[in-house]
Structure 1
Amino acid sequence: MLYNILTSYSDTYSFLNFFNFLTVRTGLAVITAMIIVFLIGDRFINFFSSKQITNPIRSDGPEDHLIKKIGTPTMGGVLMLIGLFTGVFLWADLLNPYNWLLIFITLSFGILGAFDDYKKIKNNNSNGISSKLKILIQIFLCLISLIIFYKFIDSDIKTNLYFPFFKNLVINLGWFFIPFYLFVIVGSSNAVNLTDGLDGLATVPVILVAGCFGFISYVSGNVIFADYLLIPYIEGVGEVAVFCGA
């Protein structure tokens, strides 16, 4: 939002063209999200701790894990999403459809996760939403995102599977792209969720993956870098780097 406002005056004030640089806005998204989390993090955690709102621990884990996790405040994902969306809404191009696709997927899965935590707290057990129902809802949300993808993203390479650094190695998945798309998103979501359940071990992997996707989207959205690295050029996908940064 701030990016769109600032650049609308770039013809009058030339120094505002500074914000057109993708690397600048990615860096600003990183800093903004970090500052927001630092500013509200303590209050957020203290609130849930004071109210003794904690996540019930699963009984099938290692014994020392159960002891360490008791009393850990829940809803930490909400804190992360606040930082993420603040960085995105301030510095990303909100006219870019890739951003809205990512915002929908992240927000909808985040709401589902928050509701799952809410049920655990309310019922005072670690069951939450049943695994079957959760996967069905995730598949439904993915199908909605797929409609958004097809309707608003104009690209001739939607169903192509590319292999980096192999210029001519391309597989057109055709209709198989739909189950492939669902498998990647639902599988990734549950993989991160399970990994994070092992005492927050998803933190570093998520940082590394976000960094890699940020780099890939940046070079894919740059026609010179894409040609040099033998990867497909996709117009507008560089904006994903800002989202990954946040």
Structure 2
Amino acid sequence: MLYYLFRFLEQFGIPGSHVWGYISFRALLAMILALVISAWFGEKFIKYLKKKQITEVQRDAKIDPFGVKKIGVPSMGGIILIVAILVPVLLLGRMRNIYLILMIITTVWLGFLGGLDDYIKIFRHNKEGLPGKFKIIGQISIGLIVGMMLWYSPDAKINENLAIQKNDNQELVIKHRQQATKSLKTTIPFVKGHNLDYADIMSFCGKYKTAAGWILFVVMTIIVVTAVSNGANLNDGMDGMCAGNSAIIGVALGIFAYVSSHIEFAAYLNIMYIPGSQELVVFLCAFIGALIGFLWYNAYPAQVFMGDTGSLTIGGIIAVSAIIIHKELMLPILCGIFFVESLSVILQVWYAKLGTRKGIKQRLIKRAPLHDTFRITQEQLDPEIKYVFKKPKNVVHESKITIRFWIVTILLAALTIITLKIR
């Protein structure tokens, strides 16, 4: 709203109104505003949650060998994140932008889905929360909406990057098509001068390969949104873990969105030029600011938990951002922590079921998701269960585990960005 107001005032020569046209100004202002809102509103909201006794009911106080009790800590703190993201975006963003609209829809949709899950856990005293099938349906639905809107929206276009060889046969010059078009191409990490085209994958469909490619793209969108939101949800098991990792991932995605919206940077990095994706930078800066502000209260020992309201929303935002800028195939690297956390749960369940069929109690690691295995003492292990990996033998403090996971995510984010030049 403020963007349109000051752009209007610029016509009358009002001093300073022109700066609202700069994406860097609005993005950094969105980050600062989101951080302030998250910190200020967070304090008020935490007091309200405590007053209403809206607390997490299934936290295991015995899991922390250092004596920090997690019972009675307010939950549903994801509402703080959602408010801190949406307010700056609505004030500073260009609301006619298709990508910004998609991000707002994703935030509200998954925030509601996670909030419903937390509501059932807290107010209905049901530790299972929303049945898993309804969560999956909700995640598939938003993936379908995003995929279809990108398919049908006339504003969701790209300028394809083309490599043109110079006369000396030693250097490639990257140019972009002059006209933006609908495209099914996405960036592949580590591969020089090549974009994967979903339509080419479906070339066996003959003249229907483009339509089949769009169907494959929508399916991929559903898979990515579901996988990343669930991964973020599993990563939200320690104070500050998910918020810190997500803020780092948000920085990397913000860089990708910015260079994708700048034709010269896009040419230098040999990636697609995506007109309009600069508004995604405003959203992601608000996302980063909200997470940093939330860490003020969520860092160890946490004064509030984000709950599924926050973790599902965070995962959805990361997934849809990557899809919009055609970088979804980089998420396994960028979101490596989420991927490993999810994989640890899948393998743990699979190995346990395999043992059940043989009449054996067995586990791969001490506890899943992976971060929990570092804070389980040998005394807490079930002597009747056979563990493949019992390391580490010594328990690691929760805050140290969290910071080490942050460091890994920083390295993965750097590697993801480097892949563009490694090509």
Q: Sort the TM-score into its range (normalised by shorter chain).
A: over 0.9
Query: Which residue does the alignment assign to 2:125?
Result: 124
Q: 1:181 to 1:158 in 2, by over 3 A?
A: farther
- Local SS of the residue matching 1:161: strand
Deviation at 1:166, TM superposition (A): 4.8
Which whole-Å CA distance do the structure 2 matches of 1:62 and 1:190 have between them? 25
CA distance in 2, matches of 1:199, 1:134: 24
Q: Which residue of 1 aligns with 2:156?
A: 154
The structure-2 alpha-carbon separation of the partners of 1:223 and 1:164, relative to structure 1 and needing over 3 Å to count, comes to: farther
Higher mean alpha-carbon deviation, 215-224 vs 151-160, is at 151-160
The alignment yields a C-alpha RMSD, in angstroms, of 2.0
Q: Which stretch shifts more, 111-120 or 135-144?
A: 135-144
Alignment size in residue pairs? 245
* Corresponding residue for residue 142 of structure 2: 141
Greater Cα radius of gyration, structure 1 or 2: 2
> Which of 226, 236, 239 pairs up with 1:186?
226
Aligned partner of residue 68 in structure 1, secondary structure = coil
Q: Distance in 2 between matches of 1:164 and 1:120?
A: 40
CA distance in 1, matches of 2:190, 2:227: 25
Question: SS state of the match for residue 24, structure 1?
Answer: helix
Structure 1 residues 179-211: Cα deviation after superposition (integer angstroms, max 9, x where no partner):
211111111111111111344410111111111
Distance of aligned partners of 1:229 and 1:106 in 2 relative to their CA distance in 1, 3 Å threshold: same
Once structures 1 and 2 are overlaid, which stretch shifts more, 50-59 or 104-113? 50-59
Is the CA contact (8 Å cut-off) linking 1:54 and 1:71 kept in structure 2? yes
Query: 1:61-72, aligned counterparts within 5 Å?
Result: 63-64=63-64, 68-72=69-73
TM-score under structure 1 normalisation? 0.92
1:212-231 correspondence to structure 2 within 5 Å: 212-231=252-271
Instruction: Write the distance in 2 (CA, Å) between the matches of 1:177 and 1:146.
Output: 7
Task: Report if the CA contact (8 A) 1:167-1:231 is conserved.
Answer: no
Give the fraction of aligned pairs with identical amino acids, expressed as a percent: 33
Query: Which is richer in helix?
Result: 1
Please say if 1:242 is aligned against 2:267.
Answer: no
Contact 2:148 2:218 in 1 (8 A): no
Q: Distance in 2 between matches of 1:194 and 1:167?
A: 34
Partner Cα separation in structure 2 for residue 143 and residue 103 of structure 1: 15
> For residues 171 and 236 of structure 1, do their structure 2 counterparts lie closer, same or farther at Cα, with a shift above 3 Å needed?
same
> What displacement does 1:54 show?
0.4
TM-score (norm 2): 0.55
Equivalent of 2:250 in 175, 194, 210: 210
Q: Deviations over 1:140-179 (max 9, x none)?
A: 1221222222232331354212135755211111232122
Q: Could you tell me how far apart the structure 2 residues matched to 1:80 and 1:140 are?
A: 22
What letter matches 2:272 in structure 1? P
Kept in 2, the 8 Å contact 1:56–1:120? The answer is yes
Q: Is the 8 A contact 1:120 1:126 kept in 2?
A: yes
Match of 1:106, SS? helix
Q: In 1, Cα distance between the equivalents of 2:3 and 2:188?
A: 33
Counterpart secondary structure, 1:94: coil
Alignment pair present for 1:12 and 2:37:
no
Structure 1 gaps of 5+ residues are none
Task: Note the C-alpha offset of 1:132.
Answer: 1.9
Conserved 8 A contact 2:54-2:75: yes
Runs of 4+ in 1 over 6 A off after TM superposition: none
The 3-state SS of whatever aligns with 1:171 is strand
Partner of 1:53: 54
Conservation of the 8 A alpha-carbon contact between 1:159 and 1:177: yes
One-letter identity of the residue aligned with 2:27: T
Q: Is the 8 A contact 2:147 2:217 kept in 1?
A: no
Deviation at 1:69, TM superposition (A): 2.2
Q: Which runs of 5+ in 2 are unaligned?
A: 158-180, 199-212, 287-423
- Matched residue type, 1:183: I
